[in-house]
Amino acid sequence: MGTIVSILVLVLFLTAILTGGYNKKFLQRVQGSNMWDWLTTVDHKKIGIMYLGAGGFFFLIGGLEALLIRVQLFYPNNDFIVGDTFNQLLTMHGTTMIFFVAMPLLIGFMNVAVPLQIGARDVAFPFLNALSFWLFLGGGIMLNLGWLFGGAADAGWTSYVPIASNQFSPGPGVDYYVLGLQISGIGTLIGGINFLVTIINMRAPGMTFLRLPLFTWTTFVTSALILFAFPPLTVGLLLIMFDRIFGSHFFDAAMGGNSLIWQHLFWIFGHPEVYIVILPAFGIISEVISTFSKKRLFGYNSMVFATILIGFLGFMVWAHHMFTVGMGPVANAIFAVATMSIAVPTGIKIFNWLFTMWGGRLQFTTAMKFAVGFIPTFVMGGVTGVMLASPPADYQYHDSYFVVAHFHYVLIGGTVFGVLAGVYYWWPRMFGHKLNERLGNVHFWLFFIGFHLTFLIQHWLGLYGMPRRVFTYQAADGLTWINQVSTVGAVMMGVATLVFLYNVVYSRKSATAASAERDPWDGRTLEWAIPCPTPEYNFAQLPKVRGLDAWWMEKMAGNKELEPAEPLQPIHMPSSSYRPILMSLGFFVSGLGFIFRTIEVGVLGLVMVFLLMFTRSFEQDHGYHIEVDQIKEAEKGA
Amino acid sequence: MIGRVLLTFALFALLLSGCQQPRMSVLEPQGEAGQMQLDLVYLSIYIMVFVCVIVLAIFTYVLIRFRQKPGDNTIPKQVEGSTKLEILWTVVPIILLAILAVPTLKSTFTLAAKPPKAEQPVEVKVTAHQYWWEFEYPELGIKTAQELHIPTGKKVHLELTSVDVVHSFWVPSLAGKTDLIPGRKNTMWMKADKPGTYEGRCAELCGASHALMNFHVVAEKPEEFQKWVKQRQKPSSQPQTAQEKEGKKVFAQNCMGCHAIDGAGLKGPGNKGPNLAGFGDRDKIAGLLENNPENLNKWLHNPQNVKPGAHMPAIDFLKKKDLDALEAYLESLK
Amino acid sequence: MGAGNHATATTGLPAHPEKATFEGKNKVLGFWLFLGAETVLFACLFGTYLALKNSHLGGPTTQDLFEIPLVAAATIILLTSSLTSVLAVLEMKRNHLGRMQFWFGVTVLLGLAFLGLEIYEFVHYVHEGHTFTSSAFGSAFYALVGTHGSHVLFGTVWITTLMVQAAKRGLNLDMAPKFYVASLYWHFVDVVWVFIFTVVYLMGKVG
């Protein structure tokens, strides 16, 4: 704690010196700066970009952790990173990748695309949207602080008790996990509510539910999953926190507690979480495949139905993660059948994608390559999922490298491929220029081959008896060469990521004013109908929507613009606010207080949050208006 | 492209598999439970390969047939869908899943059933500790560690629990996992058809040395097993030579707080660590190192070096003479 | 969308003031969804409690501890407060600022009375050796009932805050949705208590 305080003081001190002290002029300069604009923004487009940036940053950290894991496993009885340090690595890799990479990247795209796709000017609660982002970032930073102060979490991303209890993990690592996830979880929950209300209440005239682009549909279902799946995690984390910090006995068998309660709560959250991070990727894939096949999505209605069904079934199957805990054959059988049934709606999706391409005119842009690469990869992950659903077979697969291979096929082959397709697809909408396609091609092939090299053979590692989360194996186990191939593949994925980073820099440098096209892919949905770069109010006049793929329909009818549904009038905009970042800071301080067992600081942080909420309630802020002549000016410039 | 990669793979596999065979493979089961599980593994693989082949066939055809031809800028026909096709790919998967579900349910119940008394199963209580395994045969009055001896051709009924954190008992070639959870008793059964030594692992993250919580199962012909039982019921735990006698004294002074030795006549030994009766007969030290004096020395000198986070303190304070005596005594335990 | 801007200028409220503006509509829907999440949260706490309620380790059991008359009194107080909050919202819709303030005031006072009883009850339990750390049963009991209690506390502070605002600014289309969702919240807290009364206290007394 002392270290943190002194660092904070030092930073403040340096800021004061470098800026020549605090004065009015300085304040004005700060408020006029770009930085201040981003820190206080409530614009969904900027928040989306910040989500993507932060998620990308955590992706690099999580990827580095993965590489270290693979290096340690390169040969048997390696002593590079062993024991508890290795456990910290694998825990942080998993937690980071799920909560601070997969989720923010997808939520980033929701922010970037959903309001545009439904013809809205912002989300329903712009202030809360900013709060969601800052809470997510605060939680992510808090989790990673463990590396610097006192050791990171070491009980696995599932943080099973009793291994996560004080007795067996005495350092602050698990506290970082608990409070970091709790803080970012509040943000995610708020975000879920925000998108539900946005999609229900803020669709443009004529944008009925069955005309929503599929990405918006998946966002809708995902948000509903967030709404009902995060509270169990909240409760679980709260109980662990009580056990660790306040001496309660929820999970302590010696005091009458039951450690299985955590497993249930965690997986009641955890399984829907799997769909939270895959459904939006399905949505992206649907958009990309449809756009680059130049065809309407095949079986749109059944796609929507399948999405809803997957979301619903996602809540009925959590215990298949617990087949080996001794629930008895009846429970195992029920959850097995429920789990298998999810394969049906997922299969519907796969075939619909294939038949969207059937008869189309396929353009293999990088985005399309990732989307096309997604299909066989995700099918692999899906079929191993069905295999895992069978309890007797699962007794063998469970907690072995087979499972590791399975969920990486789903999470990388599904979510990451989807996200990368989305990155290449929406990049021109976000930044006004495309990413370089040649470098994109290199990126795709290196990543695709590296991925399969890393994970395909891990199925066999599991079948040959290698448990997951082990820091080593024995030479006599006969697992060495498989591990070595896997490590080589991981390095390839690392190189691919470097190529991507280079592509970002290169494309930005070579972009000119002419690279800003409003509809570079000959798109189908509303986000491609507005000027580029997107004006802050999105739509000068809210559009009238006449069918699915609204923009495509207008283009086919020979129109150059969307038909407006309202006259040109002043547009109401929400004001920026410094409160979201301060509220997040309050939670952050509170979290640190609890982690270091100084309850006063913990309470102080919460008081700060409540005070900010209290004063916000008194604030009369009705935003501002953009006048008609300003809009005309902006639209002409674009 | 992908084909070439796979080919390289296959060659690589051939090269290396020549010298190393996986020794705890799910794919080569040595008993009834493992066989039942493997049958389901294969059944599901066949069904899934069938699905994959169909998807990949359509996929490949589509990618080749419908890629944009140079100069072709026609707008494809905008198809809404096809009810017939959609019903087809809803119904066929349901049938495939039913084919998988029926045997799945059957084996789930068979594996959960307790072996009937008539089959005279061997009862074993397994207790997991960070990072070692305790095996108790309540009907035979035997307590041992790290090495589970079982007779071939007979079901072994295990009752599993843990004293600290959640562990998971896994012998890939005999049967799948069952978790050991503090405050709960789980059960499972397994059976070995042929004599042999089968590797076991802990499969649930249990702390720093989770990767090293190894054990093995020694399956012997019933006669051999009976011999082993006799030996364990009357262990030779008394020192014979002067050095061994000295060693027993050292043991009583330094080790008895945690370790018991059945038949050694020690007064009030602790039970935090494994019971060491028959230690000299075990293949492995701490379930991990080849059992020889050099490794025993290594282990005693710094257990954390072998198993990070092990609870046993380093025995590095003894005089060389005392240490030698202790080692001699331990190796004499049969 | 500019409705928020005109809210302050409006005199006399429309029929459904809480949903008259776009912001109000969003707020009410968003809050319903939030209550959905809260329902799951309490469901999890109930589940945990049911799993652990017999793990008292020889300490006082549910039968030993609970005194139905006291809890029944608390229940009646909270149910009444729900009624008074309904009256307050009705007055709000009739644009009677004073009467609305009165009924919300009564609601807050009843909430505080409930909290007083709950604190008295907890102090009593602690004297009997039933604490947060005495057993898994203790932990689960205080987690569930305490979370509900903190919701009541938050509700009283929240409604009081809104009353101060209304006193300063009067009733308008900005305030109406705030009061409306606060009363929704209050009903929710009340419903949760009905479940606690049944599942924890009544069923605990029976066995």
Residue A28 lies in a domain: no
What pLDDT, on a 0 to 100 scale, did the predictor assign at position B6? Answer: 55
Residue A16 lies in a domain: no
| Closest Cβ–Cβ partner in B22, B68, B179 for A477 | B22
CATH code for B24-61+84-233?
Answer: 2.60.40.420
A389 CB neighbours in chain B (<8 A) are 104
| Closest Cβ–Cβ partner in A202, A265, A620 for C44 | A265
Q: State the CATH number of the domain containing residue A81.
A: 1.20.210.10
Those residues whose C-beta lies under 8 Å from the C-beta of residue A199, and which sit 6 or more positions away, are A114, A118, A212, A216, A219, A220, A223
Only one residue has tokens 């301060």, namely: A582
Residue A378 lies in a domain: yes
| Contact flag A258-C51 (C-beta cutoff 8 Å) | yes
DSSP state of A564: B
Residue A423 lies in a domain: yes
Strands (E), chain C: none
Q: Is B252's Cβ below 8 Å from some Cβ in A?
A: no
| Contact flag A193-C33 (C-beta cutoff 8 Å) | yes
A window 6-45, beta carbon within 8 A of B: none
pLDDT surpassing 60 at residue C155: yes
Distance, CA of A159 to CA of A92 (rounded, Å): 11
Which of A395, A484, A549 should be substituted to probe chain B, the one whose Cβ sees the most B Cβ atoms within 10 Å?
A395
Residue A326: count other Cβ atoms within 10 Å of its Cβ.
20
C-alpha torsion sign, points A191, A197, A199, A203: negative
**Whole domain around residue A260: which residue ranges?**
48-577+621-637
Q: What is the mean pLDDT of chain B?
A: 92
Q: Is A71's Cβ below 8 Å from some Cβ in C?
A: no
Tokens standing for C53? 């309620």
| Contact flag A625-C2 (C-beta cutoff 8 Å) | yes
- Strand A624-626 to B215-220 pairing: unpaired
Distance, CA of A319 to CA of A271 (rounded, Å): 9
What total of structural domains would you count in chain A?
1
Across chain A, which distance is largest between two alpha carbons, in Å? 78
What pLDDT, on a 0 to 100 scale, did the predictor assign at position C1? Answer: 38
Percent of chain C with pLDDT over 70: 94
Residue A227 lies in a domain: yes
Q: Is A62's Cβ below 8 Å from some Cβ in C?
A: no
What pLDDT, on a 0 to 100 scale, did the predictor assign at position A21? Answer: 57
Q: Is B40's Cβ below 8 Å from some Cβ in A?
A: yes
pLDDT surpassing 60 at residue C8: no
What's the mean pLDDT in C11-36? 89
| Contact flag A298-B81 (C-beta cutoff 8 Å) | yes
DSSP run (H or E) holding B127: strand B122-129
- Strand B132-137 to B196-202 pairing: unpaired
- Note the pLDDT tens digit of each residue in B22-71: 789 999 999 999 999 999 999 999 999 999 999 999 999 999 999 999 98
Per CATH, the homologous superfamily of domain C17-206 is Cytochrome c oxidase, subunit III, four-helix bundle (1.20.120.80)
What pLDDT, on a 0 to 100 scale, did the predictor assign at position A26? Answer: 72
| Closest Cβ–Cβ partner in C2, C36, C37 for A570 | C2
Distance, CA of B298 to CA of A39 (rounded, Å): 58
CB A295 within 8 A of CB B76: yes
Q: What is the mean pLDDT of chain A?
A: 94
Q: What is the DSSP string of B99-110?
A: HHHHHHHHHHHH
A264 CB neighbours in chain C (<8 A) are 47
What pLDDT, on a 0 to 100 scale, did the predictor assign at position A1? Answer: 58
DSSP state of B210: G
Which of C26, C34, C173 should be substituted to probe chain A, the one whose Cβ sees the most A Cβ atoms within 10 Å?
C26
DSSP state of B9: H
Distance, CA of A77 to CA of B299 (rounded, Å): 16
CB B217 within 8 A of CB B135: no
- Note the pLDDT tens digit of each residue in B187-242: 999 999 999 999 999 999 999 999 999 999 999 999 999 999 999 999 999 999 99
Nearest by Cα to C21 from A619, A626, A114, A622: A622
What pLDDT, on a 0 to 100 scale, did the predictor assign at position B18? Answer: 46
Helix axis angle for A579-595 and A599-618, nearest 10°, is: 160
Q: CA neighbours within 13 Å on the CB side: how many for B37?
A: 33
ipTM over 0.85: yes
C144 CB neighbours in chain A (<8 A) are none
Tokens standing for A625? 């208006």
Q: What is the DSSP string of A251-289?
A: S-GGGT--THHHHHHHHHHHHHHHHHHHHHHHHHHHHHH
Query: Do C and B count as touching (3 or more CB pairs closer than 8 A)?
Result: no
What pLDDT, on a 0 to 100 scale, did the predictor assign at position B1? Answer: 45
What pLDDT, on a 0 to 100 scale, did the predictor assign at position B3? Answer: 52
- Strand B196-202 to B167-171 pairing: antiparallel
C204: left (phi over 0), alpha (psi -120 to 50) or beta: alpha
What pLDDT, on a 0 to 100 scale, did the predictor assign at position C164? Answer: 96
C44 CB neighbours in chain A (<8 A) are 231-232, 235-236, 265, 268
What pLDDT, on a 0 to 100 scale, did the predictor assign at position C88? Answer: 97
For residue B131, cis peptide bond before it (omega within 30 degrees of 0): yes
- Note the pLDDT tens digit of each residue in B288-297: 999 999 999 9
- Note the pLDDT tens digit of each residue in B78-129: 999 999 999 999 999 999 999 999 999 999 999 999 999 999 999 999 999 9
pLDDT surpassing 70 at residue C3: no
A150: left (phi over 0), alpha (psi -120 to 50) or beta: left
Residue A589: count other Cβ atoms within 10 Å of its Cβ.
20
Helix axis angle for A343-357 and B83-112, nearest 10°, is: 150
pLDDT along chain A (638 residues), means of 10: 69 69 71 89 97 98 98 96 96 98 98 97 96 98 96 96 95 96 97 98 96 98 98 98 96 95 97 97 98 96 97 96 96 96 96 96 97 97 96 97 97 97 97 96 98 97 96 94 96 98 96 90 96 93 95 95 94 94 96 94 94 90 90 80
A473 CB neighbours in chain B (<8 A) are 211
What pLDDT, on a 0 to 100 scale, did the predictor assign at position A14? Answer: 72
Residue extents of the structural domains in chain C: 17-206
- Note the pLDDT tens digit of each residue in B62-83: 999 999 999 888 999 999 999 9
Q: What is the DSSP string of A111-168?
A: HHHHHHHTT-SS-S-HHHHHHHHHHHHHHHHHHHHHHHTT----STTTT-TTTTSTTT
Nearest by Cα to A371 from A297, A495, A286: A286
What is the CATH architecture assignment of B242-332? Sandwich (2.60)
What's the mean pLDDT in C193-202? 96
Only one residue has tokens 């796979």, namely: B6
- Note the pLDDT tens digit of each residue in C118-141: 999 999 999 999 999 999 999 999
Nearest by Cα to A612 from A623, A602, A604, A601: A604
**Intervals of CATH 2.60.40.420 along chain B:** 24-61+84-233, 242-332
CB B330 within 8 A of CB B286: no
Helix axis angle for A437-455 and A480-509, nearest 10°, is: 160
Nearest by Cα to A87 from A184, A194, A169: A169
Distance, CA of A62 to CA of A69 (rounded, Å): 11
